[in-house]
Chain A
Amino acid sequence: MSQPIHILQLYPRDMNIYGDYGNVLTVMRRLEWYGYDPIVSEYNVGDDFPDDVDIIIGGGGQDSGQTVIQDDLIAIGPRLKTLAENGTPMLMVCGLYQLFGHSFETTSGAIIPGIGIFDATTKAGPQRLIGNIVTHSEQFGDIVGYENHSGETTLQSATPLATVIKGAGNNSTGTTEGAIAYNVIGTYLHGSLLPKNPQIADFLIETAVTKRYGSFTAEPLDDTLADTARQVAMERPR
């Protein structure tokens, strides 16, 4: 029996830098390998927002990309917020993580409003925070990736996704990385994030499948390659 799961890629046209497609591909393939039928669709500025969404994945963009999407994001913000409150799993990396907070303040002092799913704000910083990063989360264990951002995010009441072991994370002064609210994960980690952190991919998948079909039962996948790639990545210099 066919069991479709709908994956929605948020703004791939304007927010797709740094291999964010790798996250979509990872969720898609793992669903296939677990025996489900992933259906990937895109949402770009001006599109009709689909009714049927199980997982939403969004990426980073350049400043120009953020400018293009900001009005549209505010328009669909209530939809996204309702989905989040209803438990729909989402992953927002870098640029969209920032705009899932309350606001982003640019270097010139202009405020780009966000949709406030995370109780957090971001301000453009003086330097780019760039390099390999390792963090640790109670829920997901060690998380490994690569960060490249000038925005400095301050969490208000938002729960951090992880604590930084090596690298910068949300900002250049604190030790938190990312945020998690409902089943929505926000993070600065590229790499791509999900291939080398399959535990997070499986969280998105299990949550989505359980929500739609009541339970998730599947044989674990062989993640030997991911494990070794993680080990190598953790030992690389900043």
Chain B
Amino acid sequence: MPHPFLILFGKSIRAAAALRGGGSALPGLFVERIDPTFITTVLSQLPRGVVLISGTNGKTTTTKMVVSLLESQGLKVFTNRTGSNFTRGVAAALLSSINLKGELKADIAVLELDEAHAVKFAEVVKPTHSLFLNVMRDQLDRFGEIDATATMLSKVADATTDSIIVNREDPRLYKVAQGRSLPVHYFGLAPDLRAHFPSDDELRGGAAATAPNVPADVTLDAYQGNTASFMINGSPYTTTLAISGVYNVFNAAAALAVVSAVMKEDFDAKKSIEKLATVTPAFGRGEQLLIGGQPFEIILVKNPSGFRLALQSYPPEGVATMIAINDNYADGRDMSWLWDVDFGSLQAGGVSAVSGIRAHDMALRLQYDNITTAAIEPDLNRALRHFIADAPDTPKRLYCTYTAMLSLRKELSSITTVERIS
């Protein structure tokens, strides 16, 4: 067990950091330095082990769904819901959840980690189950190449003890799943939905790979309005959903497959579906606010496939659009990715405002899709104020990169109630 003094000290740093308004990983860094076995020791107590969730797009929303669904099955779940998805963030989240004896009162942990941190984490803690959502080009300046990203997940699979849960429709992940002695559970799409989810190779000019002919535990069979139909272990279920966007709904299939794999014969599909209907989007992932009586939607965009799926998922008619692009490390420094997104759907209505450090890159990108931008204002807060004031009677939608989202949410919290990310 970690020393009680260490836990107490870590907890007080966490409390101090929270008072300062942020720094969710700092206490974790501190504990990691002093007791490197901290995470392993605490997590090894959990009777049902650790579920690791990784992939390029949809980690945060999927983690939120997996946690809710496991709770619906009667489990007590620990998670790093801060979105601080690296080992330090996990250590920080653990600190606030354990008591001074170092006990974590939970049955299972569900942890979101990006690919690079997932590898490091799996070297220290063997995941019981690992979920791989997709491998898309994202932050290539960090990971180099997407084949390298797939290799990272392959290492995570090597370290996993019980089973891996894999997106059948992603050709790179399908390859990762082949030739393993470990049980592999797939989630997938009905054939006519596949066109909505181009793989990275199909995104630009590539041929559509035929989906492998393997059975999936869970498939998304239909999605219309806010109603989705799933096939779960051979039985059909239909439900309404509080989350929107076709890619979020596919993540729900992933979450169902994880819970089925974890619970095995105790899996209650009906309870899971009922719970799924109530899960709301994670912050900044289609999150809805109300400003001046009008809906205000925040959509995080991080890479071409995510941006493209978001544009497909949210029809622009009758909505004012703002796009905020930063190029800090967490956003990705290379602007090339904007050129792999097709913005054609915004042509009719135009874009009200572009903002962020790379506002002009974004405006230039739109120019080459023959789309006019009404206002270019790199300063995020000023752009936001004008965006809201200029169209008081129109619903609004904001597409933003990660660090732009953090600043804009902060500014929005001075205008309306915004859920605090602690």
Contact = CB atoms under 8 A, between A and B. Distances in A.
A63 B145 contact: yes
A190 interface: yes
Interface stretch (B230-238, B250-258, B266-274, B357-365): B357-365
Interface string B297-330: 0000000100000000000000000000001000
Interface in B354-411: 357-358, 360-361, 363-365, 367-368, 370, 378
A192 B146 contact: no
A84 interface: no
Contact of B336 (A13, A18, A29, A150): A18
Contacts of A19: 304, 335-340
Interface residues of B, number: 33
B333 interface: yes
B335 A225 contact: no
B6 to A, nearest CB: 37
Given A19-B339, A128-B144, A236-B327, A191 B334 contact: yes
Decide if the interface of chain A is mainly helix, strand, loop or mixed: mixed
B206 A148 contact: no
A146 B147 contact: no
A26 B337 CA distance: 15
B144 A232 contact: no
Bin the interface of chain A by size: 35 or more
A128 B334 CA distance: 14
Nearest to B366: A225
Interface in A148-194: 148, 150, 190-192
Contacts of B146: 17, 62
A12 B204 contact: yes
B364 A229 contact: yes
A225 B339 contact: no
Nearest to B201: A13
A196 interface: yes
Interface string B195-231: 0000001001111000000000000000000000000
Interface of B: 137, 140-141, 144-147, 201, 204-207, 304, 327, 333-340, 357-358, 360-361, 363-365, 367-368, 370, 378
